[in-house]
Amino acid sequence: MYRMLFSTLLLFVFGNALFAQTETVTTIAVLGCHSQGIPAPTIPFLANTIKPNYSVWVGDNVYADTETDPQHIQRQLEVLENKEGYKQLREVSKFRVTWDDHDFGLNDAGKHYVLKEQSKQIHRKFWRLEDEIPAEQDGIYYAKLDTQPNGKVIQFIMLDGRSNRDNPLKPLADAYGENQWKWLDAQLRQPADVRFIVNGYQMLLKRPTSWEALVKIGRSRKRLFNLIKETGAEKVLFITGDQHYVEVLRSPKVLNYYTFEIMAAGINNVERPRLAKNRYMQPCVSEQKAPVIEVHWAAEPYLHLKVYDPETGTINSECKMLLSDVKWK
């Protein structure tokens, strides 16, 4: 009888522990292309309903274009700070932030933007990144290794695709600058169970487009994938922004690399998607959208992208991706 009770107790304790382990989920909200002058129900929905572990701001977090007044950028960020749900979202989740052209300060701007130094310092202070980004660093790139409750490690690599980028975009242009390339090499050599490389514009598009994307800078795109191969970094996925819809791209076969890019932006904007040959999930084009990535740490870990309608709480679009598929062939 005692043996039976003991066995039952062991089954209860270890069975529940196993169940808890397989049910561990990390939630990552994705925000970007946010027009600060109009309502954004996504922000309070995420703060009060989803309560994500992380909030990844992919860029165009506000629209603050200016060539003369850095305080204009500051004022637009303050509008965001005072919007419904923003402060609550900061309290319930860890922020991971990069920028794109409109919160950098000017449409399609690169390394010659006249206010880039002032914009960098405003960005560091507003997003509370002064301990992550040295004041003298030539951009706002940084990385974080985060250990989850089950011991798994997520790495967020926040790239700066603006401060050192050549303009105009040509095949031999540089997207990131030598300092950032060397830094990225070191980050990719850090141990992690899954890595998210975050960039303001798309990285896995297969063919040149009418909008900004890394495919227009062929040498930098090739250098990025070669760097991932050389460092032996595994489980690398991409989170990007710029376009006002949500889609998933799968890496082109010509790169001999199999991974995914989650392009999720336009939380209160929408535009018509263009053709993308390597789409894995069809675009979600609702005007109000709240994209959430769930990392399920099951025996067979997978990502579950859910695009919520923040006004109804329903899921408009979703997609699952096995982490075992994210590998060099």
With 0-12 / 13-18 / 19 or more C-beta atoms within 10 angstroms meaning exposed / middle / buried, residue 72 is middle
Task: Look up tokens 């960039």; give the residue.
Answer: 199
With H, G, I as helix, E, B as strand and everything else as coil, classify residue 231: helix
Nearest to 223, CA basis, from 173, 157, 160, 155: 173
Nearest to 142, CA basis, from 158, 125, 154: 158
Supply the pLDDT for residue 137. 98
Supply the pLDDT for residue 77. 98
Give me the chain's average pLDDT, please: 92
13: Cβ–Cβ under 8 A, 6 or more apart, which residues? Answer: none
Residue 93 has pLDDT above 70, yes or no: yes
Residue 1 has pLDDT above 80, yes or no: no
CA distance 26 to 292: 10
Supply the pLDDT for residue 2. 36
Residue 273 pLDDT class (50, 70, 90 cuts): very high
Picking from 7-21, 101-115, 251-265, 285-299, which range would have the lowest pLDDT averaged per residue?
A: 7-21
Picking from 38-42, 68-72, 145-149, 274-278, which range would have the lowest pLDDT averaged per residue?
A: 274-278
E strands in 200-252: 236-240, 246-250
CA distance 126 to 128: 6
Q: Percentages helix, strand, coil for the chain, rounded to the nearest 5?
A: 30, 25, 45
Supply the pLDDT for residue 329. 67
Residue 256 has pLDDT above 90, yes or no: no
pLDDT (mean) for 102-124:
98
Examine residue 273 and say whether the peptide bond preceding it is cis (omega within 30 degrees of 0): no
Residue 316 has pLDDT above 70, yes or no: yes
CA distance 290 to 283: 13
Residue 274 pLDDT class (50, 70, 90 cuts): confident
Picking from 29-33, 95-99, 270-274, 317-321, which range would have the lowest pLDDT averaged per residue?
A: 270-274
Supply the pLDDT for residue 16. 44
CA distance 60 to 58: 7
Supply the pLDDT for residue 159. 99
Beta strands 246-250; 260-264: pairing state: antiparallel
Full-model pTM: 0.93
User: Cα–Cα distances in Å, from 55 out to 18, 86, 201?
Assistant: 28, 11, 18
Residue 280 has pLDDT above 70, yes or no: yes
pLDDT (mean) for 16-24:
53
Residue 123 has pLDDT above 70, yes or no: yes
The predicted-structure confidence for 62-74, as pLDDT tens digits, reads as follows 999 999 999 999 9
The predicted-structure confidence for 177-230, as pLDDT tens digits, reads as follows 999 999 999 999 999 999 999 999 999 998 888 899 999 999 999 999 999 999
The predicted-structure confidence for 144-173, as pLDDT tens digits, reads as follows 999 999 999 999 999 999 999 999 999 999
E strands in 274-322: 279-284, 290-296, 302-308, 315-322
pLDDT (mean) for 272-285:
93
CA distance 98 to 157: 10
Assign domain 23-328 to its CATH architecture. 4-Layer Sandwich (3.60)
